[in-house]
Amino acid sequence: MAIPWLAAAFKAIPWKEVVTAAPSLVESTKKLWSSVTRTQKQPSPANEQSGESSSTHSDQLSAIEARFLVLEARTAEIARQAVTSAELVKSLAEQNAQLVRAVEILRLRTRKLVWFAGVLGLATGFLFLWMMLYK
């Protein structure tokens, strides 16, 4: 009994729009995943520096500047990832809204179908009684 309802639900989904949006979602997800894994594989600034401590002031300043540049690059990468994530979330939200609209249409159609089936059942019952009484 649930199979026809499920088939009706799948018919109401705008599959053309879902299928056309799928490649961009997959590509965005791949980009996001590769940027996350690339960021995790980068060595930390503490590992990049040698165990020896610099004694001169200029060496210390250059080391701090190098660490600052690494942190700045990582911050920019995180910002790019945030934009990519936001675009992906926006796309998923749009698809979710389409599915919600389709489910709402199905709900209304189901309500109409239940009312129609009830009225048809009552009419059939009255017709049956009428035929039995005036036979």
Q: List pLDDT tens digits, range 47-105.
A: 444 444 446 888 888 899 999 999 999 999 998 888 888 888 888 888 888 888 888 88
Evaluate whether residue 125 is within a structural domain.
no
| pTM check: above 0.95 | no
Q: How many domains does the chain have?
A: 1
Residue 76 lies in a domain: yes
Q: How confident is the model at residue 40 (pLDDT cuts 50, 70, 90)?
A: low
| Residue 72 forms part of a structural domain | yes
In a domain, 73, yes or no: yes
8 A C-beta contact, residue 11 and residue 81: no
Minimal CA–CA distance to 14: which of 103, 91, 107, 110?
A: 103
> Considering the domain boundaries, does residue 100 fall inside one?
yes
94 lies in a domain?
A: yes
Token output for 100: 């919600």
Residues 77 and 39 sit within 8 Å (Cβ to Cβ): yes
Q: Is residue 82 part of a domain?
A: yes
The range of the structural domain enclosing residue 26 comes to 13-38+59-106
- 68 burial via Cβ count (<10 Å: 0-12, 13-18, 19+): exposed
